[in-house]
């Protein structure tokens, strides 16, 4: 696989004999497959100017393609030399090099396709990988003969002696961006760093993979190394220290044959024998999912089912859709019945029903299993319904409308309960229940938030004032102590639910209106979606931003929601798509080595949070809040709770045993 120089395209070669071009941002296929090879495509590369694609195949040929049109440029190059295992362009795009089964490297004129000079001969087995140095002066090659060789790119002469150290075939080689170092991945399950000038090994091999290392690459800034392996994982390494960075990236269900960084260093792509190309966030290691597409107009509202298995979305295309939360696939046909935009969707607490509010002034109830309407539309509002919510006990539904009122409905019969809640002087665009169902909170274009008694409909206290523009969204904390709101004034505010007083300063960071806010299920984080096309996370206690904004939508974000387990966020946008995100960036916190704790400690921790030794003895316990990040005793990841802040585990004085109290030492005063 290879990124285009500008990072907008990804190309992949496959055993199905084709090359495909993909949109790097959306994952969508661009054009039709490039066809011409009669064997497996083993290697692909973009030219540095982005104009051409080169491919090598088991049909013994190298082909050049027009990157814009996908048309073949000239005829196939080579033949009768065996499979072409690797191809690469020179930095000036004038030459292409290829590694062959016949143990040789060949150089080609990228413009004419003519062979340049004689083959580079020296390896004693198939050449599996080739690359140019960043300055174009040298060529490196890796071979099944277990060596790496350096060649003079100008005359093809060998430079120095072969780089020896691997105990298995060298499958992949790459230069660091400045050209000072070379890395190689091998069937001996290791990655080795070499000094490009002297050929000496730099440090010990990078160990961690449990099967062949098929692909290696440097990050654009040269600080990190990535490797893909037959053990189905991708690993990230610190290029200076050789230490692992974070936990292995898991997801592929077969060998990982190719890994590469995006030109901006923000993403990693991997190609696997499971026929799937995956995109990963290079900073967090989170999978970057493709958008969920199907609506034909903006997605104004999204919600998770209580069991987390499904996502529901409402759109200005007048429909509601249900999606599989794991795969993103559509579940059954769209729910149709509204005669105008669907502005809000919500699930009943038991997950049996979906509630929707529409610009057609009605609320509808749907059977979540069959997607059929339940009863007649709930009618009473005289203008668009902007927001709907279900009470925690499932007995009532509330709705907010452009007619300036909130209405309460009997969820079973659909009958109106009491009279409308009057008080706002403009559109009520968001409504929510408190965690115990005793209070209703509403946000309005009149710049205020109001609290209501859910039983009587009476206003509780005075309006909450502080925003300087329309309040687009409100939500209540899981513990019932706080209310959050998002506004056209570009801020998120936190309020004391009991007193109505503001808590701390406004949360600032968005560059446009805040259209949706949500609490994480544990109440520790706040997430906000904005017209600036981003989603932001905040520490609910301190109000500080957590990590970087989530970017991917290419239009305003209308709605955000958490999965019930808090691990994912779903968003709906004016770009007509729904997206799923891993909830938070994670920091890797690890002791220096596992053996410094105990030789037998390296066992998978149990779901109960206890880390055990090899014989099952209890070593230490990790609180539930951090347990989702517990992957091994030597790698503990915890949510980033504030910028540049992390938690370290010091095992220098770690003691364990049946009589640990006898060897416990209190900290010095």
Question: What is the residue-wise DSSP string for 444-506?
Answer: ETTS-EEEEETTT--B-SSPB---SS-EEEEEE-TTSSEEEEEETTSEEEEEETTT--B-SS-
Among residues 449, 436, 434, 314, which one has the least CA distance to residue 385?
314
313, part of any domain: yes
Rounded Cα–Cα distance for residues 393 and 562 (Å): 20
Rounded Cα–Cα distance for residues 245 and 500 (Å): 45
- Total number of domains constituting the chain: 4
Q: Which residues pair with 6 in a beta bridge?
A: none
Q: Which residues contact 479 (CB under 8 A, 6 or more apart)?
A: 435, 523
Give yes or no: residues 230 and 108 share one domain: no
120-121 vs 61-66, strand pairing mode? unpaired
186 lies in which domain range? 167-288
Q: Which residues contact 436 (CB under 8 A, 6 or more apart)?
A: 392, 480
Q: What is the CATH number of the domain that holds 487?
A: 2.130.10.10
Which pLDDT does position 41 carry in this prediction? 94
Q: What is the 3-state secondary structure (H, E, C) of 159-214?
A: CCCCECCCCCCEEEEEECCCCCEEEEEECCCCEEEEECCCCCEEEEEECCCCCCEE
Contact 219, 234 (CB under 8 A): no
Rounded Cα–Cα distance for residues 629 and 638 (Å): 6
Contact 43, 87 (CB under 8 A): yes
Last residue of a domain, one of 227, 253, 288: 288
Which pLDDT does position 655 carry in this prediction? 56
Phi, psi of 407 (to 5 degrees): -120, 150
Which pLDDT does position 286 carry in this prediction? 63
Which pLDDT does position 623 carry in this prediction? 53
Give yes or no: residues 403 and 525 share one domain: yes
Which pLDDT does position 399 carry in this prediction? 98
What residue has token string 């009532």? 396
Give yes or no: residues 273 and 400 share one domain: no
155, part of any domain: no
Give yes or no: residues 481 and 346 share one domain: yes
Give yes or no: residues 276 and 309 share one domain: no
Last residue of a domain, one of 583, 600, 623: 583
Give yes or no: residues 278 and 393 share one domain: no
Cα maximum dimension of the chain: 91
Rounded Cα–Cα distance for residues 97 and 141 (Å): 10
Which pLDDT does position 358 carry in this prediction? 97
3-state helix, strand, coil in the chain (%, to 5): 0, 45, 55
Which pLDDT does position 49 carry in this prediction? 93
Which pLDDT does position 25 carry in this prediction? 74
658, part of any domain: yes
Give yes or no: residues 569 and 594 share one domain: no
147, part of any domain: no
pTM equals: 0.58
Structure tokens at 412: 């079973």
Structure tokens at 42: 């083993």
Count of beta carbons in the 10 Å neighbourhood of residue 168: 14
Give yes or no: residues 274 and 378 share one domain: no
Last residue of a domain, one of 560, 583, 606: 583
Which pLDDT does position 568 carry in this prediction? 85
- Return the SS3 of 662: helix
Which pLDDT does position 622 carry in this prediction? 57
**Which stretches of the chain drop beneath a pLDDT of 50?**
585-607, 614, 624-648, 658-669
Phi, psi of 161 (to 5 degrees): -100, 160
Which pLDDT does position 648 carry in this prediction? 43
Give yes or no: residues 574 and 651 share one domain: no
């Amino acid at each position: 696989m290879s990124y285009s120089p500008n990072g907008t395209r990804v190309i992949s070669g496959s055993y199905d004999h084709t090359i495909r071009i993909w949109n790097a941002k959306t994952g969508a296929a661009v054009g039709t497959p490039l066809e011409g090879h009669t064997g497996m495509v083993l290697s692909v590369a973009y030219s540095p100017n982005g104009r051409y694609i080169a491919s090598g195949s088991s049909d013994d040929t190298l082909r050049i393609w027009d990157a814009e049109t996908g048309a073949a440029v000239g005829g196939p190059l080579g033949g009768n030399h065996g499979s072409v295992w690797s191809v690469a362009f020179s930095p000036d795009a004038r030459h292409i090099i290829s590694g062959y089964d016949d143990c040789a490297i060949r150089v080609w004129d990228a413009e004419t396709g003519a062979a340049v000079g004689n083959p580079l001969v020296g390896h004693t087995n198939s050449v599996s990988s080739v690359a140019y140095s960043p300055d174009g002066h040298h060529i490196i090659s890796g071979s099944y003969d277990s060596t790496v060789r350096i060649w003079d790119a100008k005359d093809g002469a060998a430079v120095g002696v072969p780089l020896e150290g691997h105990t298995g075939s060298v499958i992949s080689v790459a230069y660091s961006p400045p050209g000072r170092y070379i890395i190689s991945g091998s069937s001996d399950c290791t990655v080795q760093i070499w000094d490009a000038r002297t050929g000496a090994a730099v440090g010990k091999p990078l160990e961690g993979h449990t099967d062949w290392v098929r692909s290696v690459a440097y990050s654009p800034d040269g600080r990190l190394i990535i490797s893909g392996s037959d053990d189905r994982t991708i690993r990230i390494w610190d290029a200076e220290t050789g230490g692992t960075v974070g936990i292995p990236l898991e997801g592929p269900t077969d060998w990982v044959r190719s890994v590469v960084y995006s030109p901006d260093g923000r993403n990693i792509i991997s190609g696997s024998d499971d026929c799937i190309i995956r995109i990963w966030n290079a900073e967090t290691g989170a999978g970057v999912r493709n958008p969920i597409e199907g609506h034909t107009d903006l997605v104004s509202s999204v919600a998770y089912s209580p069991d987390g298995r499904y996502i529901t979305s409402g759109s200005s295309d007048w429909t509601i859709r249900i999606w599989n939360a794991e795969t993103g696939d559509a579940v059954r046909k769209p729910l149709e019945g509204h005669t105008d935009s669907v502005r809000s969707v919500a699930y009943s607490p038991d997950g049996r029903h979906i509630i929707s509010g529409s610009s057609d002034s009605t609320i509808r109830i749907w059977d979540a299993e069959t997607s059929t309407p339940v009863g007649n539309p709930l009618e009473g509002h005289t203008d668009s319904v902007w927001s709907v919510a279900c009470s925690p006990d499932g007995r009532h539904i509330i709705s907010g409308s452009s007619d300036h009122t909130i209405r309460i409905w009997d969820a079973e019969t659909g009958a109106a309960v009491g009279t409308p809640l009057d008080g706002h002087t403009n559109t009520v665009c968001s409504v929510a229940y408190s965690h115990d169902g005793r209070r209703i909170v509403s946000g309005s274009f009149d710049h205020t938030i109001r609290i209501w008694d859910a039983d009587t409909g009476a206003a509780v206290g005075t309006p909450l004032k502080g925003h300087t523009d329309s309040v687009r969204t409100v939500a209540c904390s899981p513990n019932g102590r706080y209310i959050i709101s998002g506004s056209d004034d570009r801020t998120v505010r936190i309020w004391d639910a009991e007193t109505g007083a503001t808590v701390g300063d406004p949360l600032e960071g968005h560059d446009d209106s805040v259209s949706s806010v949500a609490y994480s299920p544990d109440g520790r984080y706040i997430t906000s979606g904005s017209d600036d096309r981003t989603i932001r996370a905040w520490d609910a206690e301190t109000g500080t931003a957590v990590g970087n904004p989530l970017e991917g939508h290419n239009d305003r974000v209308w709605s955000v929601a958490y999965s019930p387990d808090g691990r994912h966020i779903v968003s709906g946008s004016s770009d007509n798509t729904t997206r799923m995100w891993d909830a938070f960036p994670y920091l890797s916190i690890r002791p220096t080595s596992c053996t410094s704790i105990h030789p037998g400690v390296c066992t998978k921790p149990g779901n109960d949070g206890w880390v055990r030794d090899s014989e099952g003895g209890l070593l230490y316990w990790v609180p539930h809040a951090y347990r989702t990040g517990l992957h091994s005793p030597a790698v503990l990841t915890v949510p980033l709770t504030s910028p540049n802040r992390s938690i370290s585990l010091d095992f220098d004085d770690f003691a364990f045993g049946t009589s640990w109290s006898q060897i416990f030492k209190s900290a010095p005063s």
